[in-house]
Amino acid sequence: MKLTRNMKLVFQGDSITDAGRAQPIAEGIFDPMGRGYVNLIDAFLNARYPELNLHVVNVGISGNTSRDLVGRWQRDVIDLKPDWLSLMIGINDVWRQFDMPYMPNTHVYIDEFENNLKMLVGQTRQMVSGITLMTPFVVEGMKDEPFRAMMDKYSAVCKKIAMRNDCVFVDIQAAFDEVLQHRHSARFAWDRIHTNQVGCGVIARAWLKAMDFEM
């Protein structure tokens, strides 16, 4: 397992990370992590490795793009002094280009996305033991569908930045592609994005596997 004793793990992202978490910072008791993949990861880590005394913090905010993260990175990552950072962002960078085509000011095109992600990872890599960089995704098996095709391009940027900065890369899109061979997308997310508990399980499983979690 890549994590060691007394580490603080900060999970950063958009609504998929947020998942109804406690505000302003989700940590501690009374189920603050929300209903998403972070809650599942926290449960599995601390059930399997209680001796590590891991401290999980969720600071995802629904609706955020990579542009939004740049604006709050100091407060919601740097100031928290994580030992390990997990980041999944990019879904809204793509989605706003489809659900708000008449509002180009909300669009984060791929060049800006890449610059934002480089900046965020670059500011953080030397202060943490590691970064887990997760791809954005859409629960859609047809790779030539326009939303999916654009999401794959943003995912490729994530992989490139992860490889160049010695991050743990987690291909969430590939994890969903695997299960979509057997079940319809509605089994995992009603709108192809906001995952139910089964979909959250797919994300959590991919993250744990990449981190060398042992059952």
List the catalytic residues: 15, 191, 194
Give the span between the Cα atoms of 83 and 141, in whole angstroms. Answer: 35
Q: How far apart are CA 30 and CA 27, in angstroms?
A: 9
- 3 state SS for the chain: CCCCCCCEEEEEECHHHHCCCCCCCECCCCCCCCCCHHHHHHHHHHHHCHHHCCEEEECCCCCCCHHHHHHHHHHHCHHHCCCEEEEECCHHHHHHHHHCCCCHHHCCCHHHHHHHHHHHHHHHHHHCCEEEEECCCCCCCCCCCHHHHHHHHHHHHHHHHHHHCCCEEECHHHHHHHHCCCCCHHHCECCCCCECHHHHHHHHHHHHHHCCCCC
Only one residue has tokens 């109804």, namely 20
**In Å, how far from its chain's centre is CA 206?**
11
